[in-house]
Each structure stands twice: as structure tokens, then as C-alpha cells.
């Protein structure tokens, strides 16, 4: 099936798609421009969000110095939780409300940037916490209007959060991952400085890099936008619309860069070119999935991270068990693509080819296996866990993982084929051990 067929609308399908392109500055040293950008935005006092690890790094000093040089007053919030919860977001929102800020700067990984988005939202439009949380868990109310300016400075090459309107967290009372989502939450400006990745530990580069790769691959293989039902006001399309010609462009380029650079970025911290390319690729993949939407690897990941028992990932905060987001996504990926390939084999082959796989002579029937094997090869080359068993799960957990993942229908429905609960069970089973 070629591109035109994939995007041919039938029945109630939406033949059009909308793109919101986030504003960004990319390049070595651009973090030092933070104060000048904040001044251009008219800010005189900002809340500076970070976490305990980043608070000790030179990058945050660069940001503070640039704010001071621009005459901007700021207060630091460094209590962001890695993998935020509703409680941690509300604590951050309280800080944001009490600080009387005109805008925000966030510097850190996805958790920091996501926390800042939520703090900005609830301090600008105070409401019961569940009001804006995605339905059906939350009220699903739209964000009423623009938020305060937010400059997002990522320090990992992965989540792409600097370019998305999404904030993901654990709702503690339900033990469920859910999120907040609005175009208004897209940061006003992303400052993406590859110099910050110098200090990134190996497992963080791997997990966040595979997260970025999955954003791109899920976007490329997502359901076509033309199959999304046209309901509601035509001009008010959701942020995640399914694969489209624009998201394909971002996905292909991100996959090409990630295929060439991810393994080197993980294995050789001195390879600045590889790390810079990963930083750029992660940002592009962020814009891409913000537009097209993710599907099964992400939909399943929330159960994998949420049900963790003992596993502690190296290079992550040691005080509690954690399967980092990118790891919980990637462990599902090979099994997912073996399942989804029949729906759009050419897109699976193209993804594999962009990543560097040799697809000469491949037939559509080979697509899932070629892509899965290429992903497994990348996991092995970076000493990544080889399946869900490696992070503590077994066959006995398949039902609990399935029950945890199945409610993530918003994401699961973006897969290129329909997914039953039994299908999901089968994919989890096949993700237990790849080698
Ligand atoms: Fe992700």
C-alpha cells in the first residue's frame, strides 16, 4: 500500500490534518540565550523548574547566569519527581501559584518539563486536579486558554516533551498513568542545547534514545489520519490525529538519525556528534508524535512501569524501584511490530530501512520480523534488557499487565490494526524474552 492509498479517506474519515509546529532554537551553547529569550517574551520574574540531579549540573548555572544577565528575577523549584505523580504535580503547582511568576523556565528531562507544564496550567487556571486530566480517568475539560510563557530546556535526548502539549503522570489513587493534554501546554520556546548531554549517564542515553526512536516508529506506523472519524467541529482536530504526510517526514528523518547515532551515543560518551544528532532527532520525533500520536509500545508501557516490583535501573534515582519510561516502551516494541506489521507492511519495512536494516528483496510478509530483529540488534548493542523478564516480569504477570494496559484505549486505538484484550495478552507474552 503506497502513501496515497494509506491516506485515502473513506466513509466518515477525515481527509485533512492540522499541524502545530512548536518554536525551537537548536545548537551548541544556545542555553546561554535563555535570559535574552525570556526578556523578549516580556518576563521579569520566572519560576525555574528542575530536579535534584540537574540542580547540581553546570547547565543550570548557565541558565541562571543568563537570567541574571538579562535582569530577570527567578525562584528555583528543584523538587520535581522523576516519573511525576498527581501529588508531585500539585506541589509544583502550589509553588507556581505562590511565586507570582510571569512565566516559567524548565531545565531537565521529560519529568521536569511535564511538571512545569502542569504547574503552569494549574497556577494559571486553578481547578480541582482531575478537571483537565484526560477522560475517562479525569474530567477531560479543555484548557480554557493560553498559559504563561514557558521556555523548555531538555537535558536528555528522548522524551521530546519540549515540543509537545502533553504532561504524563501517575495517578496514585488508581495506580494508573494518565495525562494532561492541550495545544496550550506546548512550551512557548524549546531551547535545545546538545552540550547538556555531555553529563548524561549511559542508561539514560539508551532509555531516552529508545523512547525517541519509538516516538518516530509509532508515528510512522500509526493508523492513518484519514481513518479518524470526523466528529465535532471540523477545524478543532485533536493534537494526535494519526499518521499523515507531515508526521511521516519527521518520523523518517528522526529514524535515519537515530539508526546512525543511537548506539554510538550510548557506548561512547565522548562522541559529541552522535549525542548532538540524538538531541536533534529526539526533538523532531517529539514534534512528530505530538502530531501523529503513539500507539501500542506506549500504551503498554504504562503498565510495565506502573507494576514494577524490585527492578532498579542503573543511573536512575536508587531510592525506589523504577523501569524508566523509555525502557518500559522499548521492551514491548519488537513484539508489537511483529503483531502490527500485517496492517501496513511497507511502513514497517520503511522504518527498518530508515534505521539501517538491509531490506533488499524483503516481501511484505517479512516486514515485522525484519523490523523486530533490527530493534533487538540495537538493544543488544547497547546492553539493554532483553525483554520484560529482565525487569522482573514473568508469564504470571501477563493478565495484570494486560488489565493495566487495556484501558489506555486513546493510545491503543491509534495502532494500525484493531487490538483485542487477547491480542494484548499475546503481545505481552511475546515481549517476555527476546534472547
Ligand atoms: Fe515516550
Share of the chain above pLDDT 90, in %: 83
Q: What is the pLDDT of residue 314?
A: 87
Distance in Å, CA 40 to ligand 1 centroid:
31
What is the CA(388)–ligand 1 centre distance, in A?
Answer: 17
Cα of 330 to ligand 1 centre, how many Å? 9
Rounded to the nearest whole angstrom, what is the distance from the C-alpha of residue 110 to the centroid of ligand 1?
A: 9
At residue 21, the pLDDT reads 85
pLDDT at 2: 43
For the chain, the domains span 3-11+201-430, 29-192
Distance 99 CA to ligand 1 centre (A): 30
Q: What architecture is the 29-192 domain classified under in CATH?
A: 3-Layer(aba) Sandwich (3.40)
Residue 287: partners with Cβ closer than 8 Å, 6 or more residues away: 21, 22, 160, 163, 164, 250
User: Which residues are bridge partners to 46 per DSSP?
Assistant: 74, 103
- The closest alpha carbon to 254, from 162, 351, 344, 348, belongs to 351
Structure confidence at residue 4 (pLDDT) = 55
With cell 547538556, the residue in question is: 196
Same fold, 3-11+201-430 and 29-192: no
CA neighbours within 13 Å on the CB side: how many for 397? 20
pTM: 0.94
Q: Are 16 and 78 in contact (CB under 8 A)?
A: no
- Per residue in 55-83, pLDDT tens? 999 999 999 999 999 999 999 999 999 88
Report CA(333)–ligand 1 centroid distance (Å). 12
Distance 365 CA to ligand 1 centre (A): 28
| Ligand 1 centre distance from Cα of residue 297 (Å) | 9
Residues of the chain with pLDDT under 50: 1-3
Give pLDDT, residue 174.
83
Q: Which residue has the cell 551553547?
A: 29
Instruction: Determine the distance separating the centroid of ligand 1 and the alpha carbon of 423, expressed in angstroms.
Output: 22
CATH classification of 3-11+201-430 is 2.60.120.470, yes or no? no
CA–centroid distance, residue 326 to ligand 1 (Å): 6
Whole-number Å distance, alpha carbon 360 to ligand 1 midpoint, is: 30
Amino acid at each position: 500500500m503506497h502513501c496515497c492509498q494509506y491516506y485515502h479517506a473513506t466513509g466518515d474519515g477525515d481527509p485533512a490534518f492540522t499541524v502545530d509546529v512548536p518554536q525551537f532554537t537548536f545548537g551548541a551553547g544556545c542555553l546561554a540565550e535563555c535570559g535574552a529569550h525570556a526578556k523578549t517574551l516580556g518576563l521579569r520574574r520566572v519560576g525555574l523548574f528542575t530536579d535534584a540531579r540537574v540542580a547540581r549540573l553546570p547547565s543550570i548555572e548557565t541558565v541562571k547566569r543568563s537570567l541574571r544577565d538579562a535582569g530577570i528575577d527567578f525562584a528555583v523549584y528543584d523538587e520535581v519527581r522523576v516519573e511525576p505523580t498527581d501529588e508531585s504535580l500539585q506541589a509544583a503547582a502550589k509553588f507556581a501559584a505562590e511565586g507570582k511568576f510571569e512565566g516559567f523556565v524548565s531545565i531537565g528531562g521529560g519529568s521536569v518539563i511535564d511538571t512545569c507544564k502542569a504547574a503552569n496550567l494549574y497556577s494559571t487556571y486553578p481547578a480541582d486536579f482531575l478537571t483537565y486530566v484526560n477522560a475517562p480517568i479525569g474530567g477531560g475539560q479543555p484548557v480554557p486558554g493560553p498559559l504563561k510563557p514557558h521556555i523548555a530546556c531538555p537535558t536528555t535526548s528522548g522524551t521530546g516533551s519540549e515540543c509537545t502539549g502533553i504532561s504524563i503522570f501517575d495517578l496514585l489513587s488508581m495506580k494508573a498513568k494518565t495525562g494532561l493534554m492541550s495545544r496550550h501546554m506546548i512550551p512557548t520556546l524549546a531551547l535545545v542545547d546538545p552540550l547538556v548531554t555531555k553529563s548524561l549517564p549511559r542508561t539514560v542515553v539508551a532509555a531516552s534514545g529508545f523512547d525517541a526512536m519509538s516516538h518516530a516508529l509509532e508515528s510512522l506506523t500509526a493508523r492513518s489520519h484519514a481513518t479518524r472519524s470526523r466528529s465535532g467541529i471540523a477545524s478543532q482536530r485533536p493534537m494526535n490525529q494519526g499518521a499523515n504526510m507531515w508526521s511521516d517526514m519527521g518520523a523518517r528523518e528522526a529514524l535515519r538519525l537515530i539508526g546512525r547515532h543511537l548506539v554510538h551515543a550510548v557506548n561512547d560518551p565522548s562522541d559529541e556528534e552522535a549525542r548532538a544528532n540524538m538531541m536533534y532527532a529526539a526533538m523532531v520525533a517529539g514534534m512528530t508524535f505530538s502530531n501523529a500520536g503513539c500507539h501500542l509500545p506506549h500504551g503498554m508501557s504504562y503498565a510495565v512501569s506502573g507494576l514494577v516490583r524490585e527492578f532498579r535501573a542503573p543511573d536512575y534515582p536508587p531510592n525506589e524501584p523504577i523501569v524508566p519510561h523509555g525502557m518500559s516502551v522499548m521492551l514491548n516494541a519488537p513484539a508489537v511490530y511483529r503483531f502490527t506489521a500485517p496492517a501496513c507492511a511497507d511502513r514497517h519495512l520503511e522504518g527498518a530501512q530508515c534505521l539501517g536494516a538491509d531490506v533488499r528483496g524483503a516481501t511484505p510478509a517479512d516486514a515485522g520480523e525484519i523490523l523486530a530483529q533490527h530493534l533487538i540488534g540495537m538493544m543488544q548493542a547497547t546492553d539493554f534488557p532483553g525483554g520484560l523478564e529482565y525487569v522482573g516480569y514473568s508469564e504470571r504477570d501477563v493478565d495484570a499487565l494486560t488489565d493495566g494496559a487495556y484501558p489506555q484505549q486513546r493510545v491503543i486505538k491509534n495502532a494500525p490494526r484493531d487490538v483485542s484484550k487477547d491480542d494484548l495478552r499475546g503481545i505481552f507474552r511475546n515481549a517476555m524474552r527476546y534472547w
